[in-house]
Structure 1
């Protein structure tokens, strides 16, 4: 017979109605008799009017005396609130409010599950002691053994002569043994005394005291160190310390010793400013760089802030400065990569409504390794208005800006520019295609403070009209290729663009540069960024795109081809010269993305000068990716007449590349990158990395050999004195559950080099 007892936890007098006493009861104990069920938790859910303090006891047999002791045996189940105990037998001492249980004992609540030889519980204090325990923390991989485990009144854990690991049961890749561990269930961190670390069963470290996380909650403490050696910095050891200042602030301080340079420190401070704003401050400092002749101090400071003040106002700020041009080339900064040579300093505040917005911005750009200093925007005011279908399906836009350009050097001209750009467009959309007609007027006024040797005008007013008509037609048909059924689309499009001409020799170049001429760029309405040069145009762009879709409507191929036909030569160049001779057509731009066969993908782009028979730019990649963790990629890129910032010479870039990531088994990965310069007949980058990652620890070992970007600067007046190539060995080791989460993954290794990995395009509709 199965008997349920419902007992109030406090003084145990408020018993829920009972119907049958046990055969051996001397005093009738109120209880409820129910048929056997498989789960006491399910039984309890069927009962009503029970408070979280009520206790439910289920057993096959019981002997009880009111106010004294009750003995339960056979599939004993004890539940109160979220806590549950199951055992072979249990004794409830009603007078002293104690519970003893043993035999196949399992204790569980919301935070952990424990198996033990015996349990002694004090119900008044809501505490318990378990001996010969094995425990598991819910939601975490942490588990271990303990000679004795105490559950305190605050639901904390105190373990004596214990150990824990995050490895699977039976796997002791690493094990932490300790004399005492205390786990705070509220703070979700553990304190450990007299700990001994074992790796593969071998003791490797003794730690008198340490703290570890038992959840994702933040806490101050040391993070795992990083080790590396390279020709640039020598042996490098970093030991980061994390300081959880408050829920809104934290700081990471990373002292680093480099045998070739000295002591290098990095500090990162992060903050939250209300619910919708956040920011970050970085300061990096290397005192007396031993590798440079004059042992200079080198530094970086960086500030970033962004967010929303309210539903309408947005703010953004970004400022970075370094001591010298080669800072990112020599040092492993947390802010920028070695391939970044522009430091943006921008502050912006914007206001948004449904149909209009207003913004104010200041901007300064520092270009590393360049003698020419860009103009500063101090400040720029923008006002934009847009309304759709304002009259007979016509859309209206009005864009405007007022910009003041300043320069740090006095010999340069400065200017204030006011620009207005109203436009009216008629968009016609349909399933068979679209046609958009637009008329625009660009009015610009310049007030320029002219340098002594400049031929610019003090004041320039420029008015340029623009007409643009863009149309596209969509055709599709069913076809069969390679014995497979496909749906093929044919999407021809055209754009006629007329932009009036006005001589702009009297205007300086403040923020303009030539844009790319890829397939997408053929359908732009301007040739240059910024507003200092608006190129006249009388031209027609013709383009064609075709796609193939399989039976599942997945795009298997996309090919685009286009070119601009110039009806009239443009007279505007973004330099100070007007050009009279110009080609009759633009480059022929083509792009291809295709799923060749099964897991093979190809993508490429080419820009070909049809008049001179020259390739202006080309790139091609071939990817084999049978699964998300397997990749083999071959690539080629060619860019002629590119400026070498080190020598100021024009060079042609012709490079072959190969990269791969492949699992050796379920936990072990290999990543390799190799890039070769065909013009120089040399390798420019080699990266090899292996990573092992299990559920409880991870290790990454990598080797890197790459060409260095070197600039002339005050610290290093001669580029020839610097290394042309850098090589290094890097080691990362993480034990999960002791404050680390392991390397960022295989994709992180793919982006270690100078050439970031571009994922193969899985074509979709």
Structure 2
């Protein structure tokens, strides 16, 4: 065997400039990767004399690495030519060429290779009948080529594959797919593909898409992105049908305006309503600020008798001006209260009924920050209109380790509350809240003492003259919170565990002051779960500060297995009132017979194998009744395998209405490429189903399809902006179809997780309780 180093042959490897790697952006799991035939891999292994992964990083620059040439026979005339025959191999770093015959003509600076030709580097592998390379122009041509992108699904054939002097790529009589060779569900054929490496986009002439070898689409000319850069073009359409909207077809168009701007324009046709046009515009303002504008418009809604125009506009901006300044702005408005209930918006869900409008600028320093904010909330379907914050100025100062182990914190705000209704009360509130905290922490426990003084001033304008014009409120607060961390080794059903015992106690004193002369501007009752028992306030906002003289007792116990994974947890807690609070939202007289809060309990256990049980209950020990409760039983043997039973109960949630609902949810693979997701929720009080969902998803390595059915209870609001619909649908049913071809502009595989989030009750939050 003849072997020698020929540095003059470095140019034969100019194929490394081929930009094929970036033509398609499809990636996949290992089991979906399409590899060259075994005989090609075997020959490559012999060529490299190693089993190195073609994607493995090279320890040195390929362009500077020495070239090694080997062959069974060689004949060379110095300065004229060199011929190699029999198992010819060229190696340079991660680049490899294998052929039966090769000739290097040094006079014309040309390389010819043929016979079982293989070219490979860490980006791709190519087989061809012959290779011709011109060193003077850095051009190369391969005939009857087949190519594979290493680590990707993309592969295809080309009658001729050319590399130009500018490293552009031209494929004639070519095709590509992401499907395995034995099952090519789709194939894109083209007369010619031209890839401009400098512009990072390509041109395709005579494109023909075949599905299961049946031509379904032809485009004389089209362009495609050839890198991760964005490219304008149509995205995959969606198809659905529902009882209220009829047949729905949406065809999004993505417009890559510039590196800082893009837009998605989606014509959405509904046979029962008309053309629904949705536009989303995104922008970047430098490296640290970004925003989004959404405009949605449905003219002459045919579903409604008067055919009103329905619309949405949304603006969102966030980021930082520099290291110290932050900005935030968001504004959303809709034409009517039932906009989200009737139309599928890109901004919000039908279960959302609050539109936030906020603008905020903040300045941060290591120990202090200041911010200015304006805020308005539009509540859909409610007659009561919240107050506007116009504006709010806040200043916060923190000084840890002030002295003698104490920490100091100071919070202050000045807020002006306005209202769109001139008949409503308005106010300006000034609040100061200094806090001194003395923490003591060890691995076995902690003890925190806290003293706080809350000073608030109000200037109020009440047209009804029911509130005080000026209010000065001074309330002291003392809080002591202690916790211990104990643990021991134990056994549970004959298995070893580490059990912890975490008792905690809090004493809270808050002074009393009559606050009936203060209006409600931003205050509501907070929900008390186990952790809420240890808060220092009952209400959000500052319009009501509840007096307190109480002790909270709680304990948590956890069990950890030998792998230090939590196998179970129990938490129990209750507030004991030394003196009942006299402050309420409505200024009504509080029930002084109640000496304790509801007993809050939470349970989480891994029962056996992959069975899990969790529950949360608030039990009123005075009246011996359940204040609210929820429980779920899960079977989760795998990421995409789930079976869940759940139940929730909330008495008197509104106008003496009780919630008593049971549900079942499942996600299960019927086989490796076919999954089912479904849920069913039933209202046990009204004796009717609340929601039914069933979806099937098939996903192969190169395409995916989802077919789903949904029947659900609609939210219908009273709406002064729209004429009444009689009767308005109580339930809506729909069938939905999604289809993705991977590697051809699709958004990637359809996920099981988003199917679990379909509908009114999201998985892992199906029993979330909030007034």
Compute the TM-score of the two structures, normalised by the length of structure 1: 0.92
Distance 1:56 1:388, change over 3 A: same
Give 1:210's match in structure 2, choosing from 219, 222, 245. 222
The correspondence for 1:474, drawn from 467, 471, 485, is 485
Residues 640 and 599 of structure 1: CA distance in aligned 2, closer, same or farther (over 3 Å): same
1:265-317 deviations in Å (ceiling 9; x for gaps): 11111111111211111111111111011111111111111112222211111
Following superposition of structure 1 onto structure 2, how do residues 705-724 of structure 1 map, counting pairs within 5 Å?
705-718=711-724, 720-724=726-730
Task: Say if 1:414 and 1:448, in contact at 8 Å, map to a contact too.
Answer: yes
Aligned to 2:6: 6
Give a deviation string over 1:347-384, Cα, whole Å, max 9, x none: 11111111111111111000000011000001111111
Look up the match of 2:270.
258
Shift of 1:54: 7.5
Which residue is equivalent to 2:160? 148
Could you tell which deviates more after superposition, 69-78 or 547-556? 69-78
CA distances 1:57-99 after superposition (whole Å, capped 9, x unpaired): 4333211223322211122223568754221110111111111
Contact kept? 1:212, 1:737, Cα under 8 Å: no
User: Which residue matches 1:758?
Assistant: 764
CA 1:680–1:720: 2 relative to 1, 3 Å? farther
More displaced 10-residue stretch of structure 1: 455-464 or 130-139 = 130-139
Name the residue aligned to 1:29: none
Give the match for residue 668 of structure 2: 662
Give me the whole-angstrom Cα distance separating, in 2, the residues matched to 1:548 and 1:731. 45
1:156, CA displacement in angstroms? 2.6
The corresponding residue for 2:176 is 164
Deviates more, 1:248-257 or 1:59-68: 59-68
Residue 495, structure 1, aligned to residue 506, structure 2: yes
> Could you tell me how far apart the structure 2 residues matched to 1:48 and 1:359 are?
53
Q: 1:685 aligned to 2:697?
A: no
Aligned to 2:519, which of 495, 508, 513? 508
CA distance in 1, matches of 2:59, 2:693: 65
How big is the shift at 1:715? Answer: 4.2
Counterpart selection for 1:86 from 98, 122, 126: 98
CA distance, structure 2, for counterparts of residue 55 and residue 153 of structure 1: 22
1:79–1:247 distance in 2 versus 1, CA, 3 Å: farther
Please state if 1:527 is matched with 2:538: yes
Determine the structure 2 residue equivalent to 1:676: 682
Return the offset for 1:141: 1.9
Deviation at 1:403, TM superposition (A): 0.4
What is the root-mean-square deviation of aligned Cα atoms in Å? 2.4
Residue 587 of structure 1 pairs with residue 598 of structure 2:
yes
1:414 aligns with 2:429: no
User: How far did residue 718 of structure 1 move?
Assistant: 3.4
Name stretches of at least 5 consecutive residues in structure 1 with no aligned partner. Answer: 13-35, 644-648
Equivalences for residues 724-735 of structure 1 within 5 A: 724-735=730-741
Matches within 5 A, 1:334-733: 334-451=346-463, 453-579=464-590, 581=592, 583-643=594-654, 649-718=655-724, 720-733=726-739
| Pair 1:121 & 2:150 matched | no
Matched, 1:307 2:313: no
Greater shift in the superposed pair: 407-416 or 51-60? 51-60
Going from structure 1 to structure 2, the CA distance change for 1:598 and 1:215 (only over 3 Å counts) comes to farther
Alpha carbons 2:62, 2:94 under 8 Å: kept: no
Q: Hey, what's the Cα distance between the residues in 1 that align with 2:234 and 2:176?
A: 20
Query: Bigger CA drift: 320-329 or 130-139?
Result: 130-139
- Are 1:601 and 1:760, in contact at CA under 8 Å, matched by a contact in 2? no
Structure-2 change in CA distance of 1:7 and 1:625 (3 Å): same
Aligned residues: 730
Within the alignment, does 1:136 sit opposite 2:142 as a pair? no
Structure 1 residues 497, 37: closer, same or farther in 2, change over 3 A? closer
SS across alignment from 2:500: strand
Moved more, 738-747 or 623-632: 738-747
C-alpha distance after superposition, 1:119-138 (max 9, x if no partner) = 11111221211111101234
CA distance in 1, matches of 2:500, 2:517: 49
Specify which of 66, 83, 107 is matched with residue 71 of structure 1.
83
Q: Per-residue deviation at 1:210?
A: 2.5
User: How far is the alpha carbon of 1:109 from its aligned partner?
Assistant: 4.5
After superposition, the Cα gap between the structure-2 partners of 1:634 and 1:216, relative to the gap in structure 1 and judged at 3 Å, is: farther
C-alpha contact 1:89 1:103 (8 A) present in aligned 2: yes
- State the distance in 1 between where 2:608 and 2:360 align: 48
Deviations 1:421-445 (A, max 9, x none): 0111111111221111111100000
Distance 1:621 1:49 in 2: 58
Q: Distance in 2 between matches of 1:672 and 1:47?
A: 51
Provide TM-score, normalisation by structure 2.
Answer: 0.91
Shift of 1:186: 4.4
CA contact (8 A) 1:304 1:319 kept: yes
1:287 maps to which of 274, 299, 320? 299
Q: Return the alpha-carbon distance in structure 2 between the equivalents of residues 277 and 418 of structure 1.
A: 32
Q: Partner of 1:106 in structure 2?
A: 118
Residues of 2 paired with 1:714 and 1:9: CA distance? Answer: 81
SS for the counterpart of 2:6 is: strand
Work out whether residues 125 and 147 of structure 2, in 8 Å CA contact, stay in contact via their aligned partners in 1. yes
Contact (CA 8 Å) 2:58, 2:93: kept in 1 or not? no
Contact 1:9 1:54 in 2 (8 A): no
